[in-house]
Amino acid sequence: MHSSVGQVVIFALPAVVVAAFAILAIRDRRRAGPAAGPGFVATNGWPVAIFLIVAVGLWTVFMIVLPMLSMIDLSFRPRLPPPQWGSARDIYTLENYRYFLFGSTTSTASWNTTHLKAFGLTIWVSILITILDFVVCYPIAFYMAQVARPARLRLFMLMLIAPYWVNEILRAFAFRLLFASQGVINRALMGAGITDQPIDFIAADVALYSGLAYAYLLMMMFALYNAIETLDRNQIEAARDLGAPWWHIHLFIVLPHAKPGIASGATLVFMLTAGALAAPLVLGGPRTLWFTPIVYDRFYQAFNWQQGAAYALILLVACVVFVLLVLKIFKLRLGEIAK
């Protein structure tokens, strides 16, 4: 299929969806008759109604939907020199995805082990880091939400907000200073006589994984805190009075109540970790496998945007699958976690 078909579809699709909802809405209003109440323009007045429609229209269509559709479209196109874009050779193809799987745009003889391994590792490590961050944050979040007195809670909040706003690259930089071969940790180890050679933490990916676990910790913290904070303390008191051991209270009262918070924290941490670019660039060794730098290189090293778009889409699909899985496991709806 020629790529010009996609052009039409991309620009027509948002228009068709909006038109379909508009037709449905008008039909429903006609059916309801006078019971429908004042319409959109009558509720807001002309100037505000125009502002709402224009602002949201530009945002959703030109900043969210069309970019995403274009990226999907580009990922199915062959790599051609610019003069040939839109020419007869510009037909939809799976070659960019074939390259991800087999390391070649034509042959399917051998697997593309480097990229597949990097992808698998990124997803696996991101899942582990998400779980680790949850375990680290839970006691503190519970303490702040249910135990701490107001004055101490305020202090803790300020102490959490400060590092929360530290830039991603600077966090990675801080970890690099710690883990470099002449870094703080190596000097301390050598000074204490534990080793006489600096340990290469960066090549061993220790620096990267601890930097990643550190980077998005507070996302989990605030999500958990917000969820546990809404739990009525009387429920915990009641359970304690009835003789429930402490782990029963957490397992059967606090955790079920905090489910939406856990889900939203997990979603955010996973998405940010799997999509992290600063930490792998700064903390990755020469042979470190992480997926986002590979995507970056498709664009700005290989200048193969079609392939880059395909790789980006693969990452996005992985994140969407993760979100859907979390929603399924926790039996939640999207509206409950996106707050």
Partner 1 sequence: MTSRTIQKAMLGFYIALFFAYLFGPLVVMGATAFNTPAYPTFHPFEGFTLKWFANLANDRDIVYGLKNSVWIGILVVAVSVPVGLAGAILLTQVYSRAQSFYYLIVVSPVLTPGVIIGISTVVFWRHLTDITGLKFIYDGTVLTVLAQSSFISAYTMLIFLARLARFDRTLEEAALDLGASRTQVFFHVLIPFMMPAIGSAIVIAFLSSFENYNTTTFAILADKTLTTVLAGRIRVGTTPALSALAVAIVAVTVVGAVLFELFKRREQDIAARRAAAAARSEAAETAAVPAHA
Q: Which of residues 146-165 bind partner 1 (CB under 8 A)?
A: 154, 157-165
Least distance (Å) between residue 300 CB and partner 1 = 8
Least distance (Å) between residue 9 CB and partner 1 = 14
Residues whose CB falls within 8 Å of the CB of residue 34, separated by 6 or more in sequence, listed in order:
none
Which listed range, 98-106, 108-116, 127-135, 274-282, lies at the site for partner 1 (CB under 8 A)? 274-282
> By C-alpha distance, which of 272, 274, 279 is closest to 176?
279
Contacts (CB under 8 A) with partner 1, residues 283-312:
292, 295-296, 299, 305, 308-309, 312
The answer to whether the CB of 137 falls within 8 A of the CB of 213 is no
Q: Rounded to an integer, what distance in angstroms lies between the CA atom of residue 265 and that of residue 330?
A: 13
Contacts (CB under 8 A) with partner 1, residues 173-212:
173-178, 180, 182, 184, 187-188
Output the DSSP codes for 51-115. HHHHHHHIIIIIIIIHHHHHHHHHHTS----GGGTTSTT-B--SHHHHHHHHSSSS--SS--HHH
Which listed range, 52-60, 127-135, 226-234, 248-256, lies at the site for partner 1 (CB under 8 A)? 52-60
- Coil vs helix vs strand at 271: helix
Least distance (Å) between residue 174 CB and partner 1 = 4
118 vs 309 by CB, closer to partner 1: 309
Least distance (Å) between residue 91 CB and partner 1 = 17
Contacts (CB under 8 A) with partner 1, residues 240-269:
267-268
**Long-range own/partner contacts, residues 117-121 (CB < 8 A, 24 or more apart):** 117/289, 118/289, 118/290, 118/291, 118/294, 119/291, 119/314, 119/318, 121/289, 121/290
Least distance (Å) between residue 320 CB and partner 1 = 8
108 vs 339 by CB, closer to partner 1: 339
32 vs 238 by CB, closer to partner 1: 32
The answer to whether the CB of 133 falls within 8 A of the CB of 217 is yes
Contacts (CB under 8 A) with partner 1, residues 10-49:
21, 24-25, 28, 40, 42-48
- Coil vs helix vs strand at 2: strand
Contacts (CB under 8 A) with partner 1, residues 98-157:
136, 139-140, 143, 154, 157
Q: Is 64 in the site for partner 1 (CB under 8 A)?
A: yes
Least distance (Å) between residue 339 CB and partner 1 = 7
Q: Rounded to an integer, what distance in angstroms lies between the CA atom of residue 219 and that of residue 232?
A: 23
> By C-alpha distance, which of 122, 129, 128, 165 is closest to 280?
122
Least distance (Å) between residue 231 CB and partner 1 = 18
- Supply the DSSP symbol for 287: T
